[in-house]
A and B are shown apart, each in its own frame.
Chain A
């Protein structure tokens, strides 16, 4: 069972126990994804003096989502600092710092504001190591609060994974739950290649029970690995970021009808753990890939191709895609109709079962 799936139950149990004892609850042994990311950044800053955290409002304010809360106080204003509103400049700064031996962890405040930085991300950050024939180090982790689901203004709900996964020289990662977010971010920072790290902002406040021994004791998967967050045998749901929890919700409902869905959290979107995803699809003989981004040329097409190439003879149905529509990301009341719903996921499952 995944940490996410057990989180709600464990939280309820803890609360009940404290209430029964009739005294104030002990400090909750839980943490949110925001907490986990904050702790990962704290760890990275503490373990390597070359690590720098910077971006818009990440210093004194602690970031608009408070992911960098307290880091400037603990590590100093030289290592955790605010920049002007200049996304291209922020990434360009990171490239120059990396060439001078630093390990930059810049933040783009919201997904849609990565577009003004695309030249620096694509033409510079992704290529400088190659252009320099491996001599210029480029260990940059570009954090981008991403995806929709919080009824934010325009340009605050974009899914950029297909854009960046398409770029040679970039790695792309997206965490789905708090405990995994900790290790995924630390692995991204410790790695020596540029990583675009897409944080599902609608999951910042998801809670998970803190394991005994703290965050560092949480299970750590190898770099590049996907994970099965819920085993099943009738069809495989493939997702990343915020859509993993939605797939788990769909799996819960399907289970009531006796349909056992396997849910795979991709975690790394480039390189993508194609063999493991295909192995799951081969086992269940059916796959549905779910993402928030628009359909056409989305990463779901890539997943479908990789699965089909590897598991064609084992598949009982074409890989289905449940995605956002090919429209600009919509405003508040339309957002729930744009994002893949549990119903749409279950309809797609039904199509694969009845194919």
Chain B
């Protein structure tokens, strides 16, 4: 197997995005932020049992997902990829249904959406992306799998196995590690020996790229380049997008027990929404009227999604049994009869 690209964990920089694309992606980021804010509120109101906020990671998610071809590519998320889902056009009411605990994997159609079911085992979906990608290569198709995971997941054995498999099999897959600095309560220093996830790419014979994950253009450009490389047979890429988890791990978490509030205040200056807006203004790509309209329209969209998930019907009890197997299973049929007679 020939060695491919030499490792390149250097910071990736990019030119500004074309204005129309930048405006479109800013609106996606803003919508994601507003949906996220509504979701936290829904948890506080008792509508969601718990919620995991992506606040602070909007540029990393929108920038990377917007580089994908929604007709050909397929995303494999874990559970904090709301803005990836939004960018790929996933039904967001169905997405948030997972957080309302209506169905673990979400109520959207993952196959039609090309966005795998929400997965709470953080390393688990990474080898799935490699398998899906290998399937593309074997079929002679040109789709690329994009695997989303975090700095915490980078410690999982499955991530190592997946990356090694991707290298050996020349699978068209892009690994996007959103390094948000905190794996629940554990900081990078206690998580990543060597200090860099991207540098590990060298060991798998694949390209490794570190990118400012709060720089929308840089993330988009790095992902676009990695997708092109994979699509043209150049194999996998590992992108480490350095970002920040601005909120707690989940609504059940208390960051004051493990991190300095000053750190969170310092982050506010590099909020990807603030930075993207400043970049749009500096480039003359958007004016006050655009931002006012975006604010109103994105808020309306977030509220529509909020109302939709709040009103979504609970699944019928038959859902307990309906999707376990495709083929008949007499033991489940018998248990379903018990449910019909004694529970329903």
> Taking beta carbons and an 8 Å cutoff, which residues of A are in contact with B?
52, 78-79, 83-84, 86, 88-89, 91-102, 104, 116, 119-120, 123-124, 128-137, 168-169, 171, 191-193, 223-224, 270-272, 274
Q: In the complex, how many angstroms separate the beta carbon of B252 from the nearest chain A beta carbon? A: 21
Interface of A is mostly: mixed
Look across to chain A and name the residue whose beta carbon is closest to the beta carbon of B147: A96
Can you name 24 A-B pairs with beta carbons within 8 Å? A83-B165, A84-B165, A92-B130, A92-B158, A92-B162, A93-B127, A94-B131, A95-B131, A120-B158, A124-B124, A128-B117, A129-B324, A130-B323, A131-B105, A131-B117, A132-B105, A133-B103, A133-B107, A134-B323, A135-B109, A136-B117, A192-B327, A271-B329, A271-B330
**Docked-complex contact B323 and A93, CB < 8 angstroms:** no
Task: Say how far A139's CB is from chain B's closest CB, in angstroms.
Answer: 8
Q: Which chain B positions have C-beta within 8 A of A92?
A: 124, 126-128, 130-131, 158, 161-162
Chain B residues positioned under 8 Å from A83 (CB to CB): 165, 168
Chain A contacts for B139, CB-based, 8 A = 100-101
B interface list, Cβ under 8 A from A? 74, 76, 103-105, 107, 109-112, 116-117, 119, 121, 124-136, 138-139, 145, 157-158, 161-162, 164-165, 168, 319, 322-327, 329-332
Q: A119-B121, A132-B111, A133-B105 are in contact. Are A88 and B157 (CB under 8 A)?
A: yes
Contact B161 A136 (CB under 8 A): no
Closest to B126 in A: A92
Selected from B129, B164, B327, the residue in CB contact (under 8 A) with A96 is B129
Minimal Cβ-Cβ distance residue in B for A98: B131
Query: How many Å lie between the Cα of A303 and that of B178 in the bound state?
Result: 49
B124→A193 contact, CB < 8 A: no
How many angstroms from the CA of A136 to the CA of B109 in the assembled complex? 9
Give the CA-CA distance A119 to B126 in the complex, in Å: 13
| New A-B contacts (10) at CB < 8 Å, excluding given A97-B131, A120-B158, A133-B107 | A92-B124, A92-B127, A92-B162, A95-B128, A99-B74, A100-B135, A120-B127, A130-B324, A131-B119, A191-B327
Which of A96, A128, A191 meets B134, CB within 8 Å?
Answer: A96
Q: Is the pair A124, B128 in contact by a Cβ cutoff of 8 Å? A: yes
Q: What is the minimal beta-carbon distance from B177 to any residue of chain A, in angstroms?
A: 17
Distance A191 CA – B117 CA, assembled complex (angstroms): 23
Kindly list chain B residues whose C-beta atoms are within 8 Å of the C-beta of A271.
329-332
Would you call B111 and A136 a contact (CB within 8 A)?
yes
- Cross-chain contact B161 with A123 (CB below 8 angstroms): no
With A and B bound together, what is the CA distance between A270 and B331 in angstroms?
9
Given A129-B324, A136-B110: A100 and B131 within 8 A (CB)?
A: yes
User: A93, B327: Cβ atoms under 8 Å?
Assistant: no
A140–B192 Cα distance when bound, in Å, is: 34
How far apart are the CA atoms of A135 and B117 in the complex, in Å? 10
A99→B132 contact, CB < 8 A: yes
Return chain B residues, CB-CB under 8 Å to A223: 327
Which of B74, B158, B332 has most A Cβ within 10 Å?
A: B158
Q: From A83, A131, A134, A191, name the one whose CB has the most chain B CB atoms within 10 angstroms.
A: A131
B121, closest chain A residue (CB): A123
Residue of B nearest to A128 (CB): B117
Interchain CB contact under 8 A, A95 and B109:
no
The answer to whether residues A193 and B326 also contact, given A92-B128, A97-B135, A99-B111 and a CB cut-off of 8 A, is: yes
The 3 closest A-B CB pairs, nearest first, are A96-B131, A92-B127, A89-B161
Whether the pair B130, A132 counts as a contact (CB closer than 8 A) is no
CB closest chain-B residue, reference A81: B169
Question: What is the bound-complex CA distance between A134 and B125, given in angstroms?
Answer: 18
Q: Which residue of B lies closest to A92 (CB)?
A: B127
Q: Cβ of B111 and Cβ of A89 under 8 Å apart? A: no
Alpha-carbon distance between A104 and B127 when the two chains are bound, in angstroms: 14
Residues in A with CB closer than 8 Å to B134 are 93, 96-97
Closest residue of chain A to B138 (Cβ to Cβ) is: A78
